[in-house]
Amino acid sequence: MPWDTQDTMSLREEFVRLASQEGANRRELCRRFGISPQTAYKWLARYANEGMAGLVDRSRRPQRSPARTPADVQATVIDLRLAHPAWGGRKISRRLQDRGLVSVAPSTVSSILHRHGLISPPAVEDKAWQRFEYELPNALWQADFKGHFETLQGRCSPLTVLDDHSRYNLLLQACGNTRTPTVREHLEAAFRRYGLPVRMNFDNGAPWGSPSQPGQVTELGLWLIRLGIRLSHSRPYHPQTNGKEERFHRSLKAEVLNGKSFSHLAQAQSAFDRWRRVYNHERPHEALQMETPISRYRLSPRAFPEALPAIAYGPDDEIVRVKWNGELRFRGRQFKVSNALHRHDVAIRLRPTEDGVFDVYFAHHRCLSIDLNQHEDTN
């Protein structure tokens, strides 16, 4: 994947930070980022000696890159607040500390912001719910579309993917539509760079699922299953199931979209790219004890395959091909599975402890349960 020249610095920073982590497979990182080992070690050496200044092209780098450190503490705090209007006292305090500028207590930062009229009345917080977090990165990715907005040249639907453990944003793409080919193209790019997750969670809207039949596998879902990814869907009308994505969307709206307008998708994407780098590498996250997402994220060891693996079923499975409109015939009866399974083979497997009860699988994914004792099928 060649680097996009308009976002070269962000990609170089992302590469060197991932490559500097303990146990990082640098050769694999080079392959995923599409650069040679020689180039990679050049950037790593420059980053180790000069920090971010070392990642700037030599022909464009200024003669000197002094860190901006205003004498007045209040001016330093105000500058950072103006750069990130949605950040409060704790985030600004931690960011100043991380940058080695000044040490200012969160309460002092808040007082400065109040005195200069830079804090709005507090918004009403959503009702809290119990937070659950996976222990390792790439155990679960949450994916969704942020609600669309209009540009001068048409609609923009931001596609976002977030790692559950680290809150690392893996994908933030300005899309002109929400169709399966578009989503697949951008997910594949993320898989090639970061590897495959164990599981992905979605809501029940298109192209992830069916609002009228929650849990139904779609064409996009079939592709993900073939890649060995396990799928899950949020409970209908329970957005907290994908709560970290919902919270990410709130931050995106507050820090990028509110009060802004864009002429076209490319302009929106430029704004997304700038903010994504800040979100992943600079912005302290309260749920991470004020650490940044990059500090907790690691690449997945499961690389994206160039060819989809063949599906293998067990010797005791009964293999049936799904007919038009998701029709499935078994033991003289007719059942309904997803239309996306048309012309695909599925395995019908007897439950060992329940006589007359079968499960229908596509690869590792259970699509349907059949209870012949009740003469009906249930999802």
pLDDT digits (tens, 9 = 90+) for 208-249: 876 666 557 899 999 999 999 999 888 765 555 577 888 999
pTM here is 0.74
The arithmetic mean of pLDDT across residues 84-100, rounded, is 81
CA 274 remoteness from chain centre: 16
Task: For residue 128, name the pLDDT band (cuts at 50, 70, 90).
Answer: very low
Q: Looking at domain 141-295, does it have CATH number 3.40.50.620?
A: no
CA dist 286 and 94 (Å) reads 10
Helix H, strand E, coil C: the string for the chain is: CCCCHHHHHHHHHHHHHHHCCCCCCHHHHHHHHCCCHHHHHHHHHHHHHHHHHHHCCCCCCCCCCCCCCCCCHHHHHHHHHHHCCCCCHHHHHHHHHHCCCCCCCHHHHHHHHHHCCCCCCCCCCCCCCCCCCCCCCCCCEEEEECCCEEECCEEEEEEEEEECCCCCEEEEEEECCCCHHHHHHHHHHHHHHHCCCCEEEECCCCCCCCCCCCCCCCHHHHHHHHCCCEEEECCCCCHHHHHHHHHHHHHHHHHHHCCCCCCCHHHHHHHHHHHHHHHHHCCCEHHHCCECHHHCCCCCCCCCCCCCCCCCCCCCCEEEECCHHHEEEECCEEEECCHHHCCCEEEEEECCCCCCEEEEEECCEEEEEEECCCCEEEC
pLDDT at residue 355 tops 80: yes
Query: For position 72, what pLDDT does the model report?
Result: 59
Give pLDDT, residue 297.
Answer: 95
Contacts of residues 300-303 at CB distance under 8 Å and 24 or more positions apart, as own/partner, are: 300/137, 300/138, 300/194, 300/195, 300/196, 300/197, 301/25, 301/195, 302/138, 302/195, 302/196, 302/228, 303/28, 303/32, 303/195, 303/196
Sheet holding 376-378, edge to edge: 318-321, 345-350, 357-362, 365-371, 376-378
More confident residue, 130 or 277: 277
Q: How confident is the model at residue 8 (pLDDT cuts 50, 70, 90)?
A: confident
Whether the pLDDT of residue 206 is over 90: the answer is no
Q: pLDDT tens for residues 31-79?
A: 998 889 888 988 898 888 888 888 887 655 445 544 333 445 777 777 7
Please calculate the CA angle 365-330-335 and round it to the nearest 5 degrees. 70
What does the pLDDT average to over 195-205?
A: 89
Residue 285: pLDDT over 70: yes
* Mean pLDDT over each residue of the chain, to the nearest integer: 83
**pLDDT tens digit sequence for 326-354:** 899 999 899 999 899 999 999 999 988 78
pLDDT, one tens digit per residue, over 311-323 is: 989 999 999 999 9
User: What is the rounded distance in angstroms from the CA atom of residue 354 to the CA atom of residue 72?
Assistant: 74
pLDDT tier for residue 6 given thresholds of 50, 70 and 90: very low
Confidence of residue 277 (pLDDT cuts 50, 70, 90): very high
Give the pLDDT confidence score for residue 66 in this predicted structure: 46
User: Between residues 378 and 149, which one has the greater pLDDT?
Assistant: 149
Which pLDDT band, with edges at 50, 70 and 90, does 127 fall under? Answer: very low
